[in-house]
Amino acid sequence: MLWFLVLHIIALLLWVAALLYLPALIAARRAHLLPVQSPQNPHNSIERMVFTRVATPAALTAIIAGTLVFVIDRNINPWLIIKLTLVTGLVLCHVTVGALILRVERGGTPLVPACIALAMVIMLLIGLILWLVLAKPTLEVLS
């Protein structure tokens, strides 16, 4: 189980780093292009590469390894259920980043306020997940 936990933590660090980096990368996408300059192939961007080759495999690895830790340890604590709910929020942020990348590739302008808001939501979710994992609060279960 320890190896799955180590794999889960490493993959989670990669996923979170990519999720925090991508909104800034998307927001800065058009800042470096001149008005007459256009990319050769809009589907061959650094945003797409980071998303498809770093963030998505790391997310899948983190979720699979975390599920294996959960199944092997047979842990069903209330804090874990809340953590899984927050991880679902991270997955929704991941999907939103992908949608922003598609919007920019189709020629739309990057939405800087949306990227900032998304980064703030990601940081909030990461902070809450980290607190839940480290504190493991005892929560009353309503019956």
pLDDT tens by residue, 14-41? 999 999 999 999 988 755 554 545 556 6
**Where in the chain are the domains?**
2-29+42-135
Integer angstrom CA distances of residue 91 from 20, 38, 47, 116, 129: 13, 31, 17, 17, 13
Cβ atoms of 119 and 24 closer than 8 Å: yes
Note the pLDDT of residue 34. 44
Residue-level pLDDT at 29: 76
Give the HSE-up count for residue 42: Cα atoms under 13 Å, Cβ half-sphere. 14
Cβ pair 54, 18 in contact under 8 A? yes
Low-confidence spans in the chain with pLDDT less than 50: 34, 36, 143
Phi, psi at 33, each rounded to 5° = -95, 140
Residue 36 has a pLDDT of: 47
Q: Is 90:26 a contact under the CB 8 Å cutoff?
A: no
pLDDT value of residue 28? 86
Rounded Cα distance between 124 and 143, Å, is: 29
DSSP letters, the chain, are -HHHHHHHHHHHHHHHHHHHHHHHHHHTGGGGS-TT---S-TTS-HHHHHIIIIIHHHHHHHHHHHHHHHHHHT---HHHHHHHHHHHHHHHHHHHHHHHHHHHHTTPPP-HHHHHHHHHHHHHHHHHHHHHHHH----PPP-
